[in-house]
Structure 1
Amino acid sequence: MNLNPTGLGLAVLRRVAANPWLQRSGLGPRFDRLIYHGSRAGFAAATAGNRAFKAARSLSAPGRPPGVDPAGVFDLTPTDDQAMLREAAARFAGERLRREATDADETCAPPADLLDEAAGLGLASLSVPEELDGAGAEHSAVTGALIAEALAHGDMGLAVACLAPVSAANALLRWGTGAQQAAYLAPFAGEQPPAAAIAVAEDRPLFDPLSPATTAGRRGDQIVLNGRKVLVPRAADAEFFLVAAGEADGGVGVYIVERSAGGLSVEPAPGMGVRGAGTGSLVLNDTTIPAGNRLGGDDGCDYPALLALFRLAWCALAAGTGQAVLDYVTDYANDRQAFGEPISHRQGVAFAIADMAIELEGLRLAAWRAAALADAGKPFTKEAAIAHRLASRHGMAIGSWGVQLLGGHGFVKEHPVERWYRDLRAVGVLTGAVCL
């Protein structure tokens, strides 16, 4: 019998675990857990490395988000399901993301076990129709915003890493053809959902996402892509990418590019902030893909709407990280003593914290309003642009105030505020990566 290295190692562990002395000593359960996690990690690596994106079944028509039934009253009170999802995301952010954030920022990569746990939350399966064995839940931009905000309260970079595959699934749900959903969306409902990412940003001055330098040209029954994308989350382990590229008619299309595509290479490219997302660059040099990999097929996707959903996702991330800054600074100001009293008793400090809270509430509500319009099927691009402007401007200001209010402590890595400030700077700079 031939065993691969993973199988051989697990066979040895099983033999050790069966040792009677080990069971009597009380160490048996530990080895059982080791075998479980080892087999899970091994099979996960094998699945990711050898996954073939082929449709296991065909769809007569692509599944689309059912949308939200408008109540006729503007009410952003979370439903019971939304509150449950937000609570689960907040618990995961507090227990796992916050604890791993510093190391991830230093290594510029998210921990593999954390990503595995994030996939286990099943957020991506919410975007998979029931016909493809997914949760088939009511797709809601407001729900996505609540989840993104809760995760970013733990750490923005790791939140982006966790949400990158979910964002790709959301785009496939909204605009993918039946064949694309059967091949690329269905795996998100499985036990080992694929790692995926959206690639939009480019490294050139005054980059306009509506006029990318990356190009897509038709060659027979294939598409040839050329260009360079930067700050792509999870670039090192993503199994496929959704790449925005300019087309011959002046429009912009989004293309599904598998990692195995010829002419595609990935380079590490950490940035100033969101370093825990493991950002990298994609280099497309005559990268050839099937013509059927154009998102939405001949009809394409609603690219302006996709950009608006990008903006709303970054607004939600800014709200979560801004709340983390506000919470930390408030506790610090109440505990820090100067001249025999907490520094929060000083009007200059108290007023600054109050301004942070006011601006945070404003940008959060603007994002929720735009997301609610999207859920109702109404135009929302203008409202998304307004919310993004507030988030990029005031989110950065909240981070700056946080650093200043901590004084010298705000400038050192002993406190997380300097990292949150760097992350909040990304809101006004990055395009793409995360989509509601």
Structure 2
Amino acid sequence: MPAQRLMPSDDARDLIDLTREICAKDLATVVDEMERASEFPGAVFRLLGRSGLLSLAYPEEYGGGAQPSEVYLQVVEEIASVWMSVAVGVSVHTLSCFPVASFGSDAQQKQLLPAMIGGNQLGAYCLSEPMSGSDVGSMTTRATRTGDDDAPGYSLRGTKAWISHAGHADFYTTFARTSDDGSRGLSCFVVPADSEGIVFGAPERKMGLNSDTVRQVMFEGVHVDADRRVGDEGQGMAIALSALDSGRLGIAAAATGLAQAALDAATAYAKDRQQFGRPIGEFQGLAFLLADMEAAVTSSRATYLHAARFKDAGRPFSRQAAVAKLVCTDAAMKVTTDAVQVLGGAGYTQDFPLERYMREAKVTQIFEGTNQIQRLVISRQLLKST
């Protein structure tokens, strides 16, 4: 059954209704085929863009939906309950726009944001590298100053790894080293996709999220105008960490939607499947399993909404975001695994989507900061506050 929601306004309720309508009509009808074919859902993102669902978190003055995180994240959850790859893509795009929206100058926001969130563009977020994942400060991609005072700019060289939308994005929000001062030597740039010198690796052969195309992005002397540097030189680490706080909420919401889908499929099967003359859902062992799954999904939703309300209130939410990412993604792994168990042998086949849900859940414990990193963030903030 659809998640029961208490939305803060009539507009928010309308957005959820619109999202469910689009998901039922345009996503559910093609998701299985496109995931099997590892096909990138470009037309789906364009549809979401025209519908205003790619810009919900950003101001109206630049063409955004001006929705609080509490609403935006529930839209992401709804999308994830039908197509996880697309929900992750919406979160990645929103993350890619965050540095300009939050740290860009007035001129950059006026120049760049309307196109970035207008619905016709899709962004990519280039932070991780082949040898730099959790240890962001060790990145080696470098931005070297070029030109003169009349035409200042940078030349980017280096390789980024695990980049969603690589080869399909219209811009790449990229972090590169502008000095050798460790984590204080990083800067943020918005690189147009048509810049000369951008080369892509082969798509990664992943165990799930097949429609979320992930590749390496190589910057081979790519010129970037100085006015596309976001914030000051050396501010990149602060920008990246702030963006990841918001991005972790997107993944938490998506993981919750995935778990909801698994719970719904398992519940429907338990009602229909007969053994020993009655539906298997009437056996206490399986009924209790479903109850635990429902408790996990409901707890996940409450956890990410709690963090979202801190963000909407303008209060620090790094710890709450880390808790939400940890709780929701661990729950998604547990719920999807239990859902396969409910279906038994059928759950292990591709005739049902449960095996895909389980494969998709695993990566949520890894990207946007592994869950071990989340525990580190949480514990450090707890100890710092005492």
Aligned residues, how many?
354
1:247 Cα deviation from its structure 2 partner: 4.5
Which residue is equivalent to 2:27? 97
Alignment of 1:217-232 (within 5 A): 217-220=143-146, 221-232=152-163
Contact 2:340/2:354 (<8 A) preserved: yes
1:344 Cα deviation from its structure 2 partner: 0.9
1:169 Cα deviation from its structure 2 partner: 3.2
Contact 2:92/2:247 (<8 A) preserved: no
Counterpart selection for 2:258 from 288, 297, 321: 321
Contact 2:142/2:158 (<8 A) preserved: no
Which residue is equivalent to 2:128? 201
- Using the alignment, how far apart are the partners of 2:188 and 2:328 within structure 1? 26
Q: 1:131 to 1:333 in 2, by over 3 A?
A: closer
One-letter amino acid matched to 2:74: L
1:155 Cα deviation from its structure 2 partner: 0.9
Gapped regions of structure 2 (runs ≥ 5): 147-151, 370-386
- Using the alignment, how far apart are the partners of 1:138 and 1:234 within structure 2? 25
Instruction: Write out per-residue CA displacement over residues 142-168 of structure 1, whole angstroms, 9 at most, x where no aligned residue.
Output: 122111101101110122234543443
Q: 1:184 to 1:118 in 2, by over 3 A?
A: same
SS at match of 1:235: coil
Alignment of 1:204-283 (within 5 A): 204=131, 207-208=133-134, 210-220=136-146, 221-248=152-179, 249=181, 250-251=183-184, 252-267=186-201, 268-283=203-218
For the pair shown, which has the larger CA radius of gyration, 1 or 2? 1
Alignment of 1:137-148 (within 5 A): 137-148=65-76
1:200 Cα deviation from its structure 2 partner: 2.6
Which residue is equivalent to 1:84? 14
Contact 2:99/2:239 (<8 A) preserved: no
SS at match of 1:194: coil
Contact 1:176/1:297 (<8 A) preserved: no
1:189 Cα deviation from its structure 2 partner: 6.0
Q: TM-score, normalised by structure 1?
A: 0.75
One-letter amino acid matched to 1:290: D
Q: 1:256 to 1:360 in 2, by over 3 A?
A: same
One-letter amino acid matched to 1:225: L
Gapped regions of structure 1 (runs ≥ 5): 1-74
SS at match of 1:431: coil
One-letter amino acid matched to 2:139: A
SS at match of 1:219: strand
Which residue is equivalent to 1:172? 100
Residue 334 (structure 1) aligned with residue 334 (structure 2): no
Which residue is equivalent to 2:41? 111
Contact 1:212/1:244 (<8 A) preserved: no
1:131 Cα deviation from its structure 2 partner: 4.4
Higher mean Cα deviation, 210-219 or 77-86? Answer: 210-219
- Using the alignment, how far apart are the partners of 2:356 and 2:296 within structure 1? 20
Contact 1:149/1:319 (<8 A) preserved: yes
SS at match of 1:277: coil
Which residue is equivalent to 2:317? 380
Instruction: Write out per-residue CA displacement over residues 392-424 of structure 1, whole angstroms, 9 at most, x where no aligned residue.
Output: 222111111111221111111110111111111
Residue 302 (structure 1) aligned with residue 239 (structure 2): yes
Q: 1:227 to 1:370 in 2, by over 3 A?
A: same
Q: TM-score, normalised by structure 2?
A: 0.84
- Using the alignment, how far apart are the partners of 1:426 and 1:189 within structure 2? 27
- Using the alignment, how far apart are the partners of 2:61 and 2:294 within structure 1? 44
Which residue is equivalent to 2:384? none
Q: 1:204 to 1:339 in 2, by over 3 A?
A: farther
Q: 1:389 to 1:168 in 2, by over 3 A?
A: same
One-letter amino acid matched to 1:176: G
Contact 1:216/1:223 (<8 A) preserved: no
Contact 1:214/1:225 (<8 A) preserved: no
Identity %: 28
1:270 Cα deviation from its structure 2 partner: 4.1
1:199 Cα deviation from its structure 2 partner: 2.3
Which residue is equivalent to 1:158? 86
Contact 2:103/2:230 (<8 A) preserved: yes
CA RMSD of aligned residues (A): 2.4
One-letter amino acid matched to 2:359: R
Q: 1:340 to 1:353 in 2, by over 3 A?
A: same
Q: 1:189 to 1:348 in 2, by over 3 A?
A: closer
- Using the alignment, how far apart are the partners of 1:360 and 1:146 within structure 2? 13
Instruction: Write out per-residue CA displacement over residues 323-373 of structure 1, whole angstroms, 9 at most, x where no aligned residue.
Output: 000001001011101111111112221111111111111122111111110
Higher mean Cα deviation, 154-163 or 347-356? Answer: 154-163
Higher mean Cα deviation, 115-124 or 160-169? Answer: 160-169
- Using the alignment, how far apart are the partners of 2:15 and 2:322 within structure 1? 26
Instruction: Write out per-residue CA displacement over residues 9-64 of structure 1, whole angstroms, 9 at most, x where no aligned residue.
Output: xxxxxxxxxxxxxxxxxxxxxxxxxxxxxxxxxxxxxxxxxxxxxxxxxxxxxxxx
SS at match of 2:154: strand
